[in-house]
Amino acid sequence: MRIALLTDIHGNREALTACLDHAGRSRIDRFVFLGDYVGYGADPVFVIETVMEHVARGAVALLGNHDAAVIEPDPRMTDAAFTALDWTRGRLGPAHLAFIKGLRLSCEDGGRLYVHANAYAPGEWGYVTGLYSASKSLMATTAQATFCGHTHVPMLFHMSMTGKIASFEPVDRVDIPLTARRRWLAVIGSVGQPRDHHPAACYAILDTARGILTYIRVPYDVDTAARKIRDAGLPIELSFRLAEGY
């Protein structure tokens, strides 16, 4: 089975469309969405309805912290994020809100764990940013491979049978064997707001039969997505971030 993993879309229609177009040419059998469909971007309705359509066809969709904050505002968020979510909240209808309320925090499937933020406290939204937090996440589950988002920065961690943990940055379109002698934690980069100083959208493809994970960078129409943010009256810094990838 070939599984497309997408996360942190953040209302970016152009980025999502580009990734789905690429996935459509890549013989994908299943889609897994790891959360944060809204916030920052100007097309939350399009993104949520697109994910809803995929879920109706068998996709997995999880809850992200920005999605949760649509239902219950999170005072820990930055001013820009808070403003964007307030704007978003006024554009979602009952069906969109019901969909968000029905999303789960994690999903286990065939030795794999899917979650938005981490495995040790999924609903507290802690970031996996280094070996310590990755180790906590790996020790909290028996899954051979865990897939998450939240940081907007692609990274791969692996733990040996003796508990030694290491990490590396994945390279665009280079196959990574997820060997059975190690346990893995794959942080999938962001579709809609990359923060690794690379503006191209990021998603990943998991080939379960071959045990191969491949990170994919997909160029998209950044200018249009940024212009929509400005036209919507959202914080202008959110438009600048797309072009710079931060």
pLDDT for position 18? 98
Would you call 111 exposed, middle or buried from its count of C-beta atoms within 10 A (0-12, 13-18, 19+)? exposed
pLDDT tens-digit series, residues 118-140: 999 999 999 999 999 999 999 99
Question: What pLDDT shows up at residue 136?
Answer: 97
Of 91, 97, 67, nearest to 81 by C-alpha is 67
Whole-angstrom Cα distance, residue 169 to residue 81? 27
Q: Report the candidate in 237, 165, 202 with the shortest Cα–Cα distance to residue 5.
A: 202
pLDDT at 9: 98
Give CA 148 to chain center in angstroms.
7
Q: What is the CATH number of the domain that holds 67?
A: 3.60.21.10
* pLDDT of 91: 97
Q: Is residue 113 situated within a structural domain?
A: no
Q: What is the pLDDT of residue 114?
A: 98
State the average pLDDT over residues 27-51: 98
Residue 137 lies in a domain: no
27 assigned to some structural domain: yes
Q: What is the mean pLDDT of residues 71-92?
A: 96
| Helix or strand (DSSP H, E) at 183 | strand 183-187
Domain that holds residue 205: 2-106+167-180+189-244
Share of the chain above pLDDT 90, in %: 100
Render pLDDT for 155-211 as a digit per residue (tens, 0 to 9): 999 999 999 999 999 999 999 999 999 999 999 999 999 999 999 999 999 999 999
Q: Could you tell me if residue 133 is inside a domain?
A: no
Q: Are 67 and 38 in contact (CB under 8 A)?
A: yes
Gyration radius (Cα) of the chain, Å: 17
Mean per-residue pLDDT over the chain, rounded: 97
Q: Does residue 131 lie within any of the structural domains? A: no
Helix (H) or strand (E) holding 85: helix 79-89
Residue 157 falls inside a structural domain: no
Spatial distance between the Cα atoms of 146 and 104, rounded to a whole number of angstroms: 16
| Matching residue, tokens 């940081």 | 151
- As a whole number, mean pLDDT of residues 201-226 equals 98
**Residue 132 within any structural domain of the chain:** no
Which residue type, as a one-letter code, is found at position 214?
Answer: T
User: What is the pLDDT averaged over residues 217-246?
Assistant: 97
Report the pLDDT value the prediction gives residue 109, as an integer from 0 to 100. 94
The separation between the first and the last C-alpha atoms of the chain, rounded to the nearest angstrom, is: 33
Residue 101 placed within a domain:
yes
The closest alpha carbon to 196, from 173, 172, 220, 214, belongs to 172
Alpha-carbon torsion (226, 124, 152, 43), positive or negative:
negative
How many domains does the chain fold into?
A: 1
Amino acid at 52: M
Q: What would the mean pLDDT of 111-116 be, rounded to a whole number?
A: 97
The CA distance from 216 to 140, in Å, is 28
